[in-house]
Amino acid sequence: MAPPALDGTTMRAARAALVERRDLTGWALATALSAQADEWLVRLAGRLPAGWSLAATGGYARGALCPGSDIDVLLLHPQRASDDQAKEIAARIWYPFWDAKLKLSPAVQSPRSALQLASDDLVTATSLLNVRHLAGNEQVVAELREGAQQQWRKRPLPWLHRLLEATRQRWATAGPVSSLLEPNLKDGRGGLRDHDVLRWAVESGRADVVASLEAPLGELAAAADLLLSVRCELHRATSRHSDVLTLHEQDVVAAAFGDELPLLHVDGDADRGGRTDPADRLMHSVSTAARSIEWAGERFWRRVERILDGSAGDGAAGPRRVGRLERIVERGRRNRPTRPTPEPMPGLAVIGDELHLTDAADVDDPALLFRVAGVSARSGIPLSREALTALRSLPARDGSAPWTESMRKEFVGLLGAGEPMIGVVEALEHYGLFSRALPEWEHVRSLPQRNAFHVYNVDRHLLQTIANAAGFVRAVGRPDLLLVGALFHDLGKGYERDHSDLGVDLTRLIGPRMGFAPDDVETIAVLVQHHLLLVETATRRDLNDPRTAANVADAVGTAERLDLLRALTESDATATGPSAWSTWKRALVDELVRRVHETLDGRPTQPSGVDPGARFADLVEQVRYGGGVASEVDHDGEFVVFRVAAADRAGLFATVVGTLVVHRVDIATAEAWSTSDGVAVQQFQILPDQDPPPFGRVQNDLAAVVGGSLDLEDRLAARIDEARRRARRRAIAAAAPRTEVLVSNEASDSTTMIDVRAPDGPAVLYRLAASLADFGVDIRTAKVATLGHEVVDVFYVQRPEPGAGQIPIEQHQALRDLLYAAVSLS
């Protein structure tokens, strides 16, 4: 019986049924989708006229389609075929796919025009290198493939240069797959496209290019297959063409594999720490696979650059192309920074732009590994594969054995080399050498962190922090302790215990092994224990309260440790992600550090209170003599500052915040003061937005609300409903936010501190402020922040009666219950 006719509805149902088959995962699903497309195209093409062919190109030609992949096909016709005939045949094949809403990317060409286009267009040239026959004249497809390969091999150098430039642009946009928490599986560095590019480069046929690969491409097949399997499941999970594996989707993709979760191990690698979380195990394997491809690609392209440099004028490139290539290479030589000459070291030689070990190397020197690595990092000359293999072949030291002084010094020298250190350490670890010397590194290697604010996984974050810290070595008294503190500060992540507490234990274990004196070990432990202290205190505590600086001074102990902690704080934050550091945070941290230095030196700090009558005289005078509400707009670095003055009354802070909420104004910080004669002044730092807040309308509405002519509650309700509708359309990534309310009299001598963490939601700050007003307390200072999907709001409050001060402890529980109820409305 003849098969049923193909139409869009039939094909759409068949594709959906195949994608929904849970017995097919990863690579198996990709090959099944490709086979299904093959069957449809062959049937739709039917018996093509003589000399016509249908072929698969690009990724589809390799026989593995992800659910969201383009199906790249080429209809080949004789040179003199009519346009009408080509349109009629193409329509017969294409339209059922388009009716089925499938991503068919077709082209119609003669073999001659296809080759002509491929002679100058990189995408077309690479797509035809492995073109695959589907229907019609098979010889036509074979001749096209052979012609495309001949064109590619005839002018290899220009093609290699264009591949390299396109690869660099892609890397700059997508970043590395191996170390990003949300990697681009296809276009990222070490991703599927890099594997494709290596195959295309080897197709050039040049022996020196092929020899630039450290290992046959077949050794990368398992890594590429794993990435394709994960990409296939990502497409299925999202029901769209999506190559970025977000935090939100990692659990879904991992669950799709079930017991068949892909795990990949490379030489010297293991499933670190016995991880059981499926998403963590998935991301560990993705990172490991990408590291393999990235390692091969990085070293391949560095060697190919040398070929391009030395081959300008090669006749194989053709007369016109040679001139262009010569200009490109010469321009690259002029713009390339001069590489430092490696420091002299017995047993080390530069051969072929790489560092090699010679017979003169002292293989009995326990510091040899770090000494060689330090030379590589400081000179920018990479270690050769032979050198790394030779280092790995040396007898392994006991990882728990004490270090020699020279080992420690060479190790610190490596850490202080800056950005080049990152690549050198990753090269060492590719051969298991860094974790051989520091066994605790194994646990954090490729360890993801389920945190929306981090960009990198743990090991790359640590290396980036160290590289950033190298920029502060001349600003601190003990740069060696800063660098090692940067290495240790997150070494405790990935366990059930608090990572800072566990990091302290690791520091007290590893520090003595490295040969640091007891006092130095304790200094490093302080850096690890309190690496978040400065930024959290500066952004969440009242800097005007002397108790704030005193608490930090008690934690750090000495001025030297404070300076080290300040350097580590910025190094850590700038290695975390774009939201972790800003001009505003730097200013707050520096102000806190200044006050802590004053406390440690025994000098009086600035007064804790602010005289609003003197500091904001113009606003206060307007209220005193004109009544109503006065406001002004100022600028402070990256923030807009909005100040409001009015006669003090219960709930005024909530009223101002509610009005700002109505006008969609995002508040970063808030402070409040009162004069002795009852004028309240409030100051808000406003987060920058695309459109400036409408402060004129805000002022008018504030005056109307305070004067009783505008009902704020109705407008707030409408704004909250709108915000909730928009929030329902947003996907939430990473761990669910927690709800915590802390009420304490210990953070200040004169006020009660309230620290609230809660899921973000419409008008959370307003509801908290209104609840505090209902409780009958005055807000003296507020520090508010939205961290992704979580709010962190801190209030310093007092009872309203003159001289009443803090809220009695017996009322704290009632206040907690009230604030819990307020944030639960989100």
The H-assigned helical ranges of 239-318 are 247-257, 278-310
Q: What is the pLDDT of residues 256-303, one digit of tens each?
A: 888 776 666 544 444 444 456 889 889 999 999 999 999 999 999 999
pLDDT at 610 over 70: no
Label residue 526 exposed, middle or buried (CB < 10 Å: 0-12, 13-18, 19+): buried
* Inside any domain, residue 150: yes
Q: 596 pLDDT band (50/70/90 cuts)?
A: very high
Specify whether 590 is located in the same domain as 626: no
Residue 640 confidence class, pLDDT cut points 50, 70, 90: confident
**Domain of residue 101, residue span:** 8-154
Residue that is last in its domain, among 121, 154, 187: 154
Residue 584's nearest CA partner among 680, 686, 455, 452 is 686
- CA-CA distance, 570 to 593, in Å (whole number)? 12
**Same-domain pairing of 451 and 589:** yes
Residue 616 counted as domain residue: no
How much is the mean pLDDT over the chain? 87
Structure tokens at 460: 């790359």
Burial of 395 (0-12, 13-18, 19+ CB in 10 A): exposed
The predicted model gives 150-168 an average pLDDT of 95
Tokens of 15: 């594709």
Q: What is the CATH number of the domain that holds 786?
A: 3.30.70.260
pLDDT at 719 over 90: no
If one counts the domains in the chain, the total is 4
Q: Does residue 726 carry a pLDDT above 70?
A: no
Whether 445 and 579 map to the same domain: the answer is: yes
Same-domain status, 424 and 487: yes
Q: Which residues contact 378 (CB under 8 A, 6 or more apart)?
A: 340, 342, 343, 413, 417, 420
CA angle 451, 452, 455 (to 5 degrees): 90
Q: For position 323, what pLDDT does the model report? A: 44
> Greater confidence, 812 or 215?
812
pLDDT of residue 469 exceeding 90:
yes
* Percentage of residues of the chain with pLDDT beyond 70: 89
One domain, residues 573 and 629: no
Sequence-ordered list of residues with C-beta below 8 angstroms from that of 11, at least 6 positions apart, any chain:
40, 96, 97, 99, 100, 102
Q: Are residues 284 and 215 in the same domain?
A: yes
Residue 329 belongs to some domain of the structure: yes
Quote the CA–CA distance of 514 and 583 in Å, as a whole number: 37
pLDDT band at 584 (very low <50, low <70, confident <90, very high): confident
Domain-embedded: residue 754: yes
Say whether both 588 and 636 belong to one domain: no
Cα dist. 487→438, 480, 491, 507, 680 in Å?
A: 11, 11, 7, 10, 48
Regarding whether 324 and 357 lie in a shared domain, the answer is no
- Judge if 662 and 563 occupy the same domain: no
For residues 216-244, give the mean pLDDT. Answer: 92
Quick one: 252 and 139 in the same domain?
A: no
pLDDT of 120 over the 80 cut: yes
